[in-house]
């Protein structure tokens, strides 16, 4: 069966939670310090879905092997045209185009929604993610030294940005 990218459903939450806890919480890819519960992922899913933000999964042979989503960049109304995304692929499914396929879907959703800027907030040591975003034409726009702390050390953040052309909003 070919790789399919589709909107996430409630039944995908155990897989999404497992991927995030392994790929994000178990590393510096995310600055969450403790594994997240299925219930907290469900609240996140419901909140994002209610607000019309996408959560998409990659499925291969009946198994969810990655997901991507975006949500508000910051709460204030003036940031309405900017989003912050995240993308996670299961370890054993990486470097086979899954992340790229997920991001293509997310960017297409963003274009349809009239999003002007997509921001990724990456750990500076996450070479795979930095190379991945560069390949997808995200530009590095900021480095914030020592804003995170995990595994007993300070962590630097790299912010990357993709600017999408949109008609001037009213």
Contact residues toward ligand COA (CB under 6 A) are 23-24, 29, 86-89, 94-100, 120, 122, 126, 128-129, 131-132, 135
Decide: 117 and 83 in contact? Cβ < 8 Å: yes
Nearer to ligand COA, 13 or 160 (CB): 160
**DSSP notation for 27-86:** SSSS---SPPPHHHHHHHHHHHHHTT--EEEEEETTEEEEEEEEEESSSSGGGTTEEEEE
- Residue 102 buriedness (CB in 10 A; 0-12 / 13-18 / 19+): buried
Nearer to ligand COA, 14 or 169 (CB): 14
Provide the minimum distance between the beta carbon of 4 and ligand COA in the complex, in angstroms, as a whole number. Answer: 15
Nearer to ligand COA, 89 or 118 (CB): 89
Provide the minimum distance between the beta carbon of 167 and ligand COA in the complex, in angstroms, as a whole number. Answer: 28
Provide the minimum distance between the beta carbon of 124 and ligand COA in the complex, in angstroms, as a whole number. Answer: 12
């Amino acid at each position: 069966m070919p790789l399919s990218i589709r909107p996430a459903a409630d039944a995908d939450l155990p897989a999404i939670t497992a991927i995030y806890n392994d790929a994000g919480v178990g590393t510096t890819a995310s600055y969450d310090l403790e594994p997240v519960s299925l219930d907290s992922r469900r609240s996140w899913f419901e909140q994002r879905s209610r607000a019309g933000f996408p959560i998409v999964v990659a499925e291969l042979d009946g198994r969810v092997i990655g997901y991507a989503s975006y949500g508000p960049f910051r709460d204030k109304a003036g940031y309405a045209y900017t989003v912050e995304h995240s993308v996670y692929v299961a370890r054993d499914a990486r470097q086979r185009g899954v992340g790229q396929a997920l991001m293509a879907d997310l960017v297409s959703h963003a274009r349809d929604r009239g999003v002007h800027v997509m921001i990724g907030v990456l750990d500076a040591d996450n070479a795979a993610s930095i190379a991945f975003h560069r390949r997808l034409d995200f530009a590095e726009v900021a480095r914030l030294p020592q804003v995170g702390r995990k595994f007993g050390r300070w962590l630097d953040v790299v912010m990357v940005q993709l600017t999408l052309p949109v008609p001037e909003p009213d």
